[in-house]
Structure 1
Amino acid sequence: MSTDYSNRYVFKAEWYDKVACIMKKFYLYYYPSNNTIELFDLKTKKTFLKRTICEGIKAKDFYIGAIVIIFSRCIKIMDYADNYTKIKLETQLQKFFVLLKPDVIDKMGEIFKIITNHDFHITNMKMMQLTPTEIAECYFIKDATDKVSMINYLTSGPVVGLELLGENGISRWQELVDPENCKHVYPTATSSLRACCGKDEIYNSIYGSKNIEIAMQELQHFFPNLRNKKGLKTTAILQNCTCCIIKPHAVQARLVGAIIDDIQKADYIITAIQQFHINVINSEEFLEIYKGVLPEYTAMVAELQSGPCVVIEISRKNEDSNIVADFRNFCGPMDPDIARQIKPNTLRAKYGKTKVQNAVHCSDLPEDGVLEVEYFFKILEG
């Protein structure tokens, strides 16, 4: 076990060994100076992986709840393992809550791209339809000068809650968003998010936590981690829809904003969106239709449970169109190399890497659209 304490972080981590059918627990050491990793097995008290460089992993990938892929193993970071790591990272990295209000949902992808380009990491997301009672419990309604107008505004359509992570996150977010009263923003900061999207003090499009204490309360309210407490109700309509899953490799590569922006600019409507962590059993169950059909089945299962994925319910204004076939065509052929040759503007051509890591999953058959959406937003979410 390493004794270089001056320049390393250490976490408690887990990995499910499918061969032995056991959960293995480790100390995961990360050395930012040269991007090396070391794993120490807590049961055997022996080094599991000697300190080595692991391609594709960066310092920003290490936070509580993250899944890092170390030589094809999906290692989940459960907690800090010492005070040095906790203090160092919690001082630098801040998690906070952001709410996209009803009038900017159609610009969601564009906003996500701005968030990512300013080095914020989206660690959770969910589209919700808030009720007046739920809004009354929120911090951001307490100081509103016109509570009735604010409640009417926030219940006028779906909203999207985000958990963001960033270095000195809250202060940098306030700089990016700018003053709440957007009428005062335009002359001085036309590049701010509210200047681009907001109208006035009430219709200001985007809210973000004011400080760490408020952030923790808001994150717990919108993204409860207690098993016996459900989150706020999903907006899934479960009809005339199809399912799109932004795969873990694309989420890790921070392509969510770009993919959603392409979807929205192609006139598709996002009626539900949520981040999920799919375990091995659920991954096998969801993809079972491909078992024995596609040689990539085992690799597809491994990819889907390798990290967080973003599940989207897609619909269109024209209900007479075949939404499943239309969107499948928009995603392109399964193999990104083929897609780049014959359909270069499709999602898989632009963002896919291989037949398994091809950026997005989409429903294949007309009846699959609703069934796949129900699997996530009704069965797993319920």
Structure 2
Amino acid sequence: MDLEERYAFLAEYYDPNACLIRKYQLLFYGKDETCEMYDIKNKKLFLRRSKVPGLRMKDLFLGSIVSVHSRQLTIKDFGDEFTRRKLRAKTEKTFAMIKPDCIGKMGEILEVICQEDFIICSAKMLRLTRKQAEQFYIEHIDKPFFGNLMNLITEGPMVALEMKGEDAVRGWRRLLGPTDSAQARRDAPYSIRAKFGANVTRNACHGSDSLESANREIDFFFGSTKYPNTAKLQGTTLGLIKPHAVLSGIAGPIITDILSSGLNITALQLHYVDRANAAEFYEVYKGVVAEYTDMVTQLSSGPCIALEIHGDQDAHGKFRKLCGPADPELAKYLRPDTLRAKYGKDKIENALHCTDLADDCILEVEYFFKILDS
């Protein structure tokens, strides 16, 4: 990035108090990573040029939701031709699917995705019906492998991903490797299909083959049609990977550690939680925990990943034990193998939220997979 470059975006903020959508021009400066905002309607400065904690250039793309001093802004458009020209290729989107045969490796695959500088914009675990799978793969309906493909895609849950990055369509296809996993192991041994695929059908992941396909496939899963999530809402507990962990690219390793512990992930969904919902979710801590306000700020500061955790017996107790003490420093001293000891920074940025009381498990799971998902 040129140190003198300034990037402009048009952003919207829903003001819950006034029930209005307020529109702003958001300017981001590469020289010192500061930003300023202008109120478009009133034609005046709203925020003086200053640092915004957690705001990075890579987070600013069409459709992204960013937190600026507790206000969740949705980036609606580029603010000028310079920004449009410079960032269009870098903010290209593509669609990815972790197929049912590799759902147990989703943490490792997500880790590879983040290491390659892709940004996950949307994510949801789904289970497709035969009819839905046929609609998605309609261009292959006359191919000899279509029947096997349908059997695979409908045999269990999959994870749909909307991702963005520079030259995202070609970049993701290159990272996937050849369609045939055997060929991938010969010709692209470090590719995803070489590492995780079994054959030409059970080849770990799907990727859009063009921008047109990417737009269609993203709309198929994340457009107006609402697909139900895979939450069981019974005998499970909530795991919530906090925004700081998602943005720093460690969601994949956290998920891998959860699955390696013997627990199962029966539902997954990326959420942008607004401040009002974050306050409602954490309300039980209000007036009880000194860090309540900071906890709300952290949860509403960016994308989080909600997980429904299931185990053969006592998923709640096993997951709480895996997470460890809320204070990572204490966790490192007492239980260094726990998730918060490995991935947490402090009591606020401690990587994960887990349900405190067994009686609250279903309430918390329903909050993310029923209330917010609606």
Aligned residue number for residue 205 of structure 2: 206
Determine helix, strand or coil for the equivalent of 1:137: helix
Paired with 1:379 and 1:19, the residues of 2 have a C-alpha distance of 21
Comparing 156-165 with 44-53, which one deviates more in the overlay? 44-53
**Quick check: 1:95–1:166 contact (8 Å CA) kept in 2?**
yes
Q: Which amino acid aligns with 1:216?
A: N
TM-score scaled by length of structure 1? 0.90
Gaps of 5+ in 2: none
SS at match of 2:160: strand
> What secondary structure does 1:84 align onto?
helix
Paired position in structure 1 for 2:333: 341
For structure 1, which segment, 355-364 or 46-55, has the greater mean C-alpha deviation from structure 2 after superposition?
Answer: 46-55
In the alignment, structure 1 residue 95 sits paired with structure 2 residue 93: yes
Specify the alignment match of 2:361 in structure 1: 369
Equivalence for 1:3: none
Contact in 2 for aligned 1:94/1:168 (Cα 8 Å) = yes
Which is further off, 85-94 or 100-109? 85-94
For the pair 1:142 / 2:140, whether they are aligned, the reply is yes
* 1:267 has 2:262 as partner: yes
How far apart are residue 233 of structure 1 and its match? Answer: 1.6
| Residue of structure 1 aligned with 2:294, choices 268, 292, 299 | 299
Alignment CA distance shift 1:335-1:21 (3 Å): farther
Structure 1 residue 214, shift from structure 2 partner: 0.7
Query: How far 1:117 moved relative to its partner?
Result: 0.8
Between Structure 1 and Structure 2, how many residues are aligned? 371
After TM superposition, list the pairs within 5 Å mapping 1:1-382 onto structure 2.
7-15=5-13, 24-54=22-52, 56-70=54-68, 73-139=71-137, 142=140, 144-224=143-223, 229-316=224-311, 318=312, 321-382=313-374
Q: Assess if the C-alpha contact under 8 Å between 2:340 and 2:352 holds in 1.
A: yes
Asked whether the 8 Å contact 1:135–1:141 carries over to 2, the reply is no
Deviation at 1:22, TM superposition (A): 6.8
1 CA distance for matches of 2:207 and 2:138?
9
CA distance in 1 between counterparts of 2:331 and 2:42 reads 47
How far is 1:63 from its partner? 0.9
Letter in 2 for 1:123: C
Normalising by structure 2, we get a TM-score of 0.92
**In 2: Cα distance, 1:333 partner to 1:78 partner:** 40
Distance (whole Å) between structure 1 residues aligned to residue 18 and residue 333 of structure 2 = 42
Shift of 1:78: 3.0
CA pair 298-230 structure 1, distance change in 2 beyond 3 A: farther
Residue 134 of structure 1: how far off its partner (Å): 0.5
Task: Quote the sequence identity (%).
Answer: 42
Q: Deviations over 1:202-235 (max 9, x none)?
A: 11121001111110111011011xxxx3421211
* 3-state SS, counterpart of residue 92 of structure 1: coil
Cα offset for 1:111? 0.6
Deviation of 1:154 (Å): 0.6
In 2: Cα distance, 1:278 partner to 1:92 partner: 26
Q: Is the CA contact 2:118–2:163 (under 8 Å) kept in the aligned structure 1?
A: yes
> How far, CA to CA, are the matches of 1:234 and 1:117 in structure 2?
27
CA deviations 1:61-116 (Å, max 9, x no partner) are: 11123233445654442332234323432223211100111111000101111111
**268-277 vs 87-96, which deviates more?**
87-96
**Conservation of the 8 A alpha-carbon contact between 2:70 and 2:300:** no
- The Cα shift of 1:55 comes to 5.4
Whether the aligned pair in 1 keeps the contact of 2:239 and 2:307 (CA below 8 Å) is yes
